[in-house]
Amino acid sequence: MKEALKGKVTKAARYEPDGKVYQDVNGNYYFNIAFDNGDSGSYGTRKDVQTQFVVGQEVEYEKFENGTFPDGTPKWKIKVPKPEWTSKGGGFSGGGGAKWQPKSTREYKAEAVNSAWIRAVEVINKLTDMEFKDLEKVYDKILKRMHTDLDALGE
């Protein structure tokens, strides 16, 4: 990651060639950003109003070369630095957040049973009375077996 620069925003104007709002083929709007330290460049966002660079506020930013103008001077792209991701797990550095915890086998099985139950209700609602009575007998046997298996997991 590049080192974040700091500067006070002196200009944050939407790029509007010929007085018209410009939006590229990807839906990005561009803003000309300038800082009190002399840095300047363009900032792209999908929002038609940007709030990252407010005139008068000191902000952290990154600056990348992004091609050249016809006269040969470099174009600069301004970005908001992203937080560093730690390899320790648990989230961003300096932040809290619990580490991902795998579910127990019982929890996975309970989710599977719940999903099957929802699907079964959908199917049952489409059955005739006769089909339902036949299914009810089979279902009771299956349900008893599932309860027995789930109870065995809890022990």
CA 52/CA 46 separation, integer angstroms: 12
Q: Tell me if 99 is assigned to some domain.
A: no
Q: Tell me: pLDDT of 146 over 70.
A: yes
Domain boundary among 35, 61, 79: 79
Burial of 78 (0-12, 13-18, 19+ CB in 10 A): buried
Is the separation of the CB atoms in 1 and 50 below 8 Å? no
- Among candidate residues 77, 63, 92, 75, the one with its CA nearest the CA of residue 2: 63
Q: Across the chain, what does the average pLDDT equal?
A: 80
Q: Tell me if 130 is assigned to some domain.
A: yes
Q: Tell me if 20 is assigned to some domain.
A: yes
Q: Tell me if 73 is assigned to some domain.
A: yes
pLDDT for residue 52? 85
Asked whether residue 27 falls in the same domain as residue 75, the answer is yes
DSSP-based three-state secondary structure for 136: helix
pLDDT for residue 36? 92
Asked whether residue 66 falls in the same domain as residue 126, the answer is no
Distance (Å) of CA 152 to CA 111, 147, 149: 17, 8, 5
For the chain, what percentages of helix, strand and coil (3-state, to nearest 5) are there? Answer: 30, 30, 40
CA 107/CA 148 separation, integer angstroms: 16
Other Cβ atoms closer than 10 A to 18: 5
pLDDT digits (tens, 9 = 90+) for 67-110: 777 777 778 888 887 766 555 555 555 555 556 677 788 888 88
DSSP string over 15-63: --GGGS--B-TTS-EEEEEEETTS-EEEEEESSSS--SS-TT-EEEEEE
Per-residue confidence at 125, pLDDT binned at 50, 70, 90? confident
Asked whether residue 10 falls in the same domain as residue 73, the answer is yes
Q: Tell me if 120 is assigned to some domain.
A: yes
Asked whether residue 109 falls in the same domain as residue 74, the answer is no
Q: Tell me if 135 is assigned to some domain.
A: yes
Q: Tell me if 90 is assigned to some domain.
A: no
Tokens of residue 130, six digits: 């006769």
Tally the domains of the chain: 2
Q: Tell me if 71 is assigned to some domain.
A: yes
**Residue 136 belongs to domain spanning:** 105-154
